[in-house]
Amino acid sequence: MEETENIPTLYEWAGGSEAIEGWVEAFYDLTLKDSILRPYFEHMSPEHRHYVALWISEVFGGPKGYSEIHGKMKSHGRMIIAHQQYPIPEPARIRWIQLMSQAADIEKIPDDPEFRSAVIAYFEWGTRMQQVFMVNPVPDESPMPTWGWGERKPFIMPKKQD
Protein backbone atom coordinates (compact mmCIF):
# COMPACT_ATOMS: atom_id res chain seq x y z
CA MET A 1 0.00 0.00 0.00
CA GLU A 2 1.30 3.44 -0.92
CA GLU A 3 1.94 5.78 2.00
CA THR A 4 -0.09 8.99 1.62
CA GLU A 5 0.80 10.72 4.86
CA ASN A 6 3.76 13.04 5.15
CA ILE A 7 4.21 13.53 1.43
CA PRO A 8 6.35 16.63 1.00
CA THR A 9 5.23 19.51 -1.17
CA LEU A 10 7.02 20.15 -4.44
CA TYR A 11 8.62 23.11 -2.67
CA GLU A 12 10.02 20.87 0.05
CA TRP A 13 11.10 18.18 -2.43
CA ALA A 14 12.95 20.80 -4.50
CA GLY A 15 14.94 21.85 -1.43
CA GLY A 16 13.09 24.94 -0.25
CA SER A 17 13.70 28.65 -0.81
CA GLU A 18 17.45 28.53 -1.27
CA ALA A 19 17.25 25.77 -3.89
CA ILE A 20 14.47 27.51 -5.81
CA GLU A 21 16.32 30.85 -5.71
CA GLY A 22 19.39 29.11 -7.18
CA TRP A 23 17.25 27.37 -9.80
CA VAL A 24 15.70 30.68 -10.91
CA GLU A 25 19.12 32.39 -10.97
CA ALA A 26 20.52 29.60 -13.17
CA PHE A 27 17.49 29.87 -15.46
CA TYR A 28 17.87 33.62 -15.94
CA ASP A 29 21.60 33.24 -16.54
CA LEU A 30 20.77 30.73 -19.30
CA THR A 31 18.19 33.04 -20.88
CA LEU A 32 20.80 35.75 -21.30
CA LYS A 33 22.94 33.35 -23.36
CA ASP A 34 20.03 32.03 -25.41
CA SER A 35 19.26 33.53 -28.82
CA ILE A 36 15.54 32.77 -28.56
CA LEU A 37 14.90 34.05 -25.02
CA ARG A 38 17.51 36.77 -24.54
CA PRO A 39 15.33 39.48 -26.16
CA TYR A 40 12.57 38.76 -23.60
CA PHE A 41 14.82 38.69 -20.53
CA GLU A 42 17.79 40.99 -21.10
CA HIS A 43 16.00 44.05 -19.69
CA MET A 44 14.53 42.46 -16.55
CA SER A 45 15.03 44.30 -13.29
CA PRO A 46 17.31 42.70 -10.68
CA GLU A 47 14.27 42.12 -8.42
CA HIS A 48 12.47 40.11 -11.09
CA ARG A 49 14.44 36.93 -10.39
CA HIS A 50 13.53 37.08 -6.73
CA TYR A 51 9.82 37.58 -7.50
CA VAL A 52 9.85 34.59 -9.85
CA ALA A 53 11.46 32.46 -7.12
CA LEU A 54 8.78 33.62 -4.67
CA TRP A 55 6.11 32.77 -7.24
CA ILE A 56 7.42 29.26 -7.91
CA SER A 57 7.90 28.63 -4.19
CA GLU A 58 4.31 29.60 -3.44
CA VAL A 59 2.81 27.65 -6.34
CA PHE A 60 4.76 24.55 -5.26
CA GLY A 61 3.44 24.71 -1.69
CA GLY A 62 6.01 26.94 0.00
CA PRO A 63 5.67 30.26 1.80
CA LYS A 64 3.15 32.74 0.45
CA GLY A 65 5.77 35.43 -0.11
CA TYR A 66 4.58 36.46 -3.56
CA SER A 67 0.99 36.90 -2.36
CA GLU A 68 2.15 38.77 0.74
CA ILE A 69 3.94 41.29 -1.45
CA HIS A 70 1.23 41.65 -4.08
CA GLY A 71 -1.97 40.91 -2.16
CA LYS A 72 -3.55 37.51 -1.64
CA MET A 73 -6.40 37.56 -4.13
CA LYS A 74 -4.83 39.96 -6.60
CA SER A 75 -1.39 38.36 -7.00
CA HIS A 76 -2.27 35.88 -9.78
CA GLY A 77 -4.25 38.40 -11.79
CA ARG A 78 -1.53 41.00 -11.31
CA MET A 79 1.12 38.61 -12.62
CA ILE A 80 -0.98 37.74 -15.68
CA ILE A 81 -1.70 41.40 -16.45
CA ALA A 82 1.99 42.27 -16.10
CA HIS A 83 2.83 39.61 -18.70
CA GLN A 84 0.09 40.45 -21.19
CA GLN A 85 2.29 43.06 -22.81
CA TYR A 86 4.77 40.31 -23.76
CA PRO A 87 3.18 37.89 -26.21
CA ILE A 88 5.41 34.85 -26.39
CA PRO A 89 5.58 32.84 -29.63
CA GLU A 90 5.46 29.05 -29.38
CA PRO A 91 9.21 28.46 -29.94
CA ALA A 92 10.00 30.81 -27.02
CA ARG A 93 7.40 29.14 -24.79
CA ILE A 94 8.92 25.73 -25.46
CA ARG A 95 12.45 27.07 -24.96
CA TRP A 96 11.40 28.59 -21.62
CA ILE A 97 10.39 25.14 -20.38
CA GLN A 98 13.60 23.57 -21.74
CA LEU A 99 15.77 26.12 -19.96
CA MET A 100 13.87 25.69 -16.68
CA SER A 101 14.64 21.97 -16.92
CA GLN A 102 18.28 22.63 -17.81
CA ALA A 103 18.61 25.09 -14.91
CA ALA A 104 17.18 22.44 -12.56
CA ASP A 105 19.94 20.08 -13.70
CA ILE A 106 22.59 22.74 -13.18
CA GLU A 107 21.35 23.46 -9.66
CA LYS A 108 20.98 19.76 -8.77
CA ILE A 109 17.24 20.08 -8.22
CA PRO A 110 15.92 16.51 -7.70
CA ASP A 111 15.66 14.65 -10.97
CA ASP A 112 13.41 11.76 -10.00
CA PRO A 113 10.70 11.18 -12.61
CA GLU A 114 7.74 11.95 -10.35
CA PHE A 115 9.11 15.33 -9.30
CA ARG A 116 10.28 16.40 -12.74
CA SER A 117 7.00 15.27 -14.28
CA ALA A 118 5.02 17.38 -11.81
CA VAL A 119 7.26 20.41 -12.30
CA ILE A 120 7.28 20.27 -16.09
CA ALA A 121 3.50 19.72 -16.05
CA TYR A 122 3.12 22.99 -14.10
CA PHE A 123 5.44 24.90 -16.47
CA GLU A 124 3.57 23.49 -19.46
CA TRP A 125 0.20 24.40 -17.92
CA GLY A 126 1.37 27.82 -16.74
CA THR A 127 2.87 28.90 -20.04
CA ARG A 128 -0.22 27.75 -21.91
CA MET A 129 -2.51 29.56 -19.45
CA GLN A 130 -0.49 32.72 -20.09
CA GLN A 131 -1.40 32.37 -23.77
CA VAL A 132 -5.09 31.87 -22.88
CA PHE A 133 -5.07 35.09 -20.86
CA MET A 134 -3.55 36.98 -23.80
CA VAL A 135 -6.93 36.78 -25.56
CA ASN A 136 -9.32 36.44 -22.60
CA PRO A 137 -9.96 38.80 -19.70
CA VAL A 138 -8.12 38.04 -16.50
CA PRO A 139 -10.50 37.49 -13.58
CA ASP A 140 -9.94 40.25 -11.00
CA GLU A 141 -9.64 37.76 -8.19
CA SER A 142 -8.08 34.86 -10.03
CA PRO A 143 -6.81 32.55 -7.28
CA MET A 144 -3.11 31.83 -6.94
CA PRO A 145 -2.51 28.46 -8.55
CA THR A 146 -1.17 25.66 -6.40
CA TRP A 147 0.52 22.64 -7.84
CA GLY A 148 1.19 19.23 -6.40
CA TRP A 149 2.24 15.76 -7.39
CA GLY A 150 -0.68 14.99 -9.68
CA GLU A 151 -1.67 11.39 -10.12
CA ARG A 152 1.71 9.89 -9.34
CA LYS A 153 2.84 10.37 -5.77
CA PRO A 154 6.56 10.38 -5.02
CA PHE A 155 8.27 7.22 -3.90
CA ILE A 156 9.27 7.70 -0.29
CA MET A 157 11.74 5.23 1.11
CA PRO A 158 10.30 3.34 4.06
CA LYS A 159 11.84 4.25 7.39
CA LYS A 160 14.24 1.68 8.77
CA GLN A 161 12.95 -0.29 11.69
CA ASP A 162 15.30 -0.28 14.69
DSSP-derived 3-state class of residue 157: coil
Q: Residue 73's pLDDT is what?
A: 52
Long-range contacts: 13-16, Cβ < 8 Å, 24+? 13/110, 13/115, 13/154, 14/60, 14/109, 14/110, 14/115, 14/119, 15/109, 15/110, 16/62
**Which helix (H) or strand (E) element contains residue 31?**
helix 16-31
pLDDT, one tens digit per residue, over 107-153 is 999 999 999 999 999 999 888 777 666 666 666 566 778 889 986 56
According to the model, what pLDDT value does residue 150 have? Answer: 85
pLDDT tens profile 5-45: 789 999 999 999 999 999 999 999 999 999 999 999 999 89
Q: How far apart are CA 130 and CA 151, in angstroms?
A: 24
